[in-house]
Amino acid sequence: VQLQASGGGLVQAGGSLRLSCAASGRTFSMYAVGWFRQAPGKTREFVAAISRSGGTTNYADSVKGRFTISRDNAENTGYLQMNSLKPEDTAVYYCAARTAILTAALEHEEWGYAYWGQGTQVTVSS
């Protein structure tokens, strides 16, 4: 499966953005989807994950209550709605996909995801 992330941009603190992850090449519903981010000078970190059906979601503590992950299997697209953005959310955001079924803890691990899109830059100004 090929993944294409989009929707990043520059936003003021407190604002919102919605990222999209468009999939092509294989049946999207075969894959669980995750979002990760990498801030300058830091390692890439887990943000959120969603199961194949969309029925189960998992979030990093730092974004709980502010970010919402979702998917539309009919449109072959995953989403990350980001509200109440903070300057510390500034990063390159990546979407990833996996066929492996992982525990909630292992969903945070990059190695669990075999397919990655290019990143999209999110910049939050104070």
- In this predicted structure, the answer to whether residue 80 has a pLDDT above a threshold of 90 is yes
Closest-CA residue to 70 (of 90, 56, 84)? 56
Q: Mean pLDDT across the chain, nearest whole number? A: 96
Residue 25 has pLDDT above 90, yes or no: no
Whether the Cβ atoms of residue 18 and residue 8 lie closer than 8 Å to each other: no
DSSP string, 2-19: EEEEE--EEEETT--EEE
Amino acid 26: pLDDT: 82
Is residue 60 pLDDT above 90, yes or no?
yes
Q: Is the pLDDT of residue 102 over 90?
A: no
Percent of the chain with pLDDT over 90: 90
What is the rounded distance in angstroms from the CA atom of residue 68 to the CA atom of residue 90? Answer: 17
Structure tokens at 116: 């990655």
Q: Per-residue confidence at 78, pLDDT binned at 50, 70, 90?
A: very high
Instruction: Please give the single-letter amino acid code of residue 38.
Output: Q
Contact 102, 112 (CB under 8 A): yes
Residues forming beta bridges with residue 20, ordered by sequence position: 6, 79
* The pLDDT of residue 104 is above 90: no
Give the pLDDT of residue 105: 84
25-29, 69-73, 112-116, range with the lowest pLDDT: 25-29
